[in-house]
Chains A and B, each alone.
Chain A
Amino acid sequence: MGKSLNGAIWLNADMLSPYEFWQFWRNTTDEDTGRFLKLYTELPIEDCDLLGALQGSDINSAKIILANEVTTLLHGAEAAKAAEATARAVFENGGVGDDLPTLNLSTQDVGDGISVVQLLIKSGLVNTGKEAKRLIAEDGAKLNDAPLNDAGLILQVSDFEKPIKLSKGKKKHTLVQVT
């Protein structure tokens, strides 16, 4: 069990947020969902089998139940609800659909503040600072689905309590989180 050097799924909330913990369970593979429901939740076995047998996109609801149940046991019902709400807000309200690339930053990366221009570059939405500034000037950038008009905007670590969604145009999005 020495696998704890980098990027481990910690149980303590001060080392891994309930949201990230929830996401970890939400990302269970289809094949593992039924088995994990039996091991990590207390739902009746028949329910676990039914949920685990769901096919196609239906099994996503089983994974959300898994994530909610496991997070409720560890962090409480409220934390689980908040995690689900965050996930929905980030992924669904923007109409992004099912998948979103994620950029993970350390607190050192952010340091005393990181500019939105740098974030746009790091997230791969643009290649250069010039391109980033042009995108912002042409009203093509969004931050959490709100228009981003200030190319000089600096974000602090405290701004990343929840993951931030950066968008270029209507189709390209990246989730930025500080881990």
Chain B
Amino acid sequence: MTYHPKSEFMAVMMQRGFLADCTDYQGLDDALSKGVTPAYIGFDATAKSLHVGSLIQIMMLRWLQKTGHKPITLMGGGTTKVGDPSFRADERPLLTDNQINDNIAGIKRVFENYINYDDEPNGALMLNNSEWLDNLNYLEFLRDIGRHFSVNRMLSFESVKSRIDREQSLSFLEFNYMILQAYDFLELNRRYGCLFQMGGSDQWGNIVNGIDLTRRVLDHEIYGLTSQLLTTSDGKKNGEIAEWRNLAECGYVITI
């Protein structure tokens, strides 16, 4: 990577080791150097709290705001009803609306410690994709959005392929998750001028889908930037160091 960024945000992402990949370094860097740029990260509402694996995303949003841009925290109130099949061997249990709302309330509190949701031009926005997903008209959605997705291509994505290869059922409900996430990006661009999406590098496929869809439907150029999927030096994914307390139970030594 020899690109020398002009924008402070891109420089921070590179220097501090966040950056894994970007769909268009120069295009995004140019946009960031021109003025306040809104960007979003989506968070599933599958539990009452996020865990440490999400902290890297939250820090990215914090730096985004510190360098003058506008963070959007998107709660997946709608998509959580569908369930992300990525890296899951089985179907997620379906959550009720009440459970999802409780989870969102729990998760929201954490963001406020990291970013400001004030009225400044770069004040953060807290949004929920229920805003555009809950009242979708099925036929309209199929005709306006569905026609841009190739099932042949969707079947080649890792999240789908691994299930099919192992002959584990992937419901039509879950199969739609990637379409809805792509549609989120389109709506965030249409409604809030959101210019790029960030996420872990496991989200690359979903992010690119959103960019393609927005280009086809709105003819807008938008971007994606992914962070390193964090592994510790002993090879565990950051979400998995989460097993710490279990290790302690097995006599793992805790030191200060």
Contacts and interface: CB of A to CB of B under 8 A. Distances in A.
B241 A9 contact: yes
A165 to B, nearest CB: 12
B233 A101 contact: no
Given A8-B51, A9-B51, A40-B59, A24 B244 contact: yes
Given A8-B51, A11-B55, A24-B52, A92 B244 contact: no
Contact of B239 (A1, A14, A24, A26): A1
Interface stretch (A31-39, A126-134, A142-150, A152-160): A31-39
A98 B256 contact: yes
B51 A29 contact: no
Contact of B53 (A1, A90, A101): A1
A92 B256 CA distance: 9
Interface in A68-94: 70, 73-76, 87-88, 90-92
B47 interface: yes
Interface size grouping (class) on chain B: 35 or more
A171 to B, nearest CB: 15
Interface stretch (B15-23, B147-155, B182-190, B218-226): B15-23
Contacts of B52: 8-11, 24
A39 B114 contact: no
Interface stretch (B27-35, B105-113, B118-126, B165-173): B105-113
A56 interface: no
A177 B105 CA distance: 28
Given A7-B242, A9-B242, A104 B53 contact: no
Given A26-B256, A104-B249, A74 B242 contact: no
Nearest to B231: A32
A18 to B, nearest CB: 12
A40 B58 CA distance: 9
Nearest to B114: A73
A121 interface: no
A54 interface: no
B248 interface: yes
8 contacts: A1-B200, A6-B243, A7-B243, A87-B256, A90-B256, A99-B253, A100-B253, A104-B249
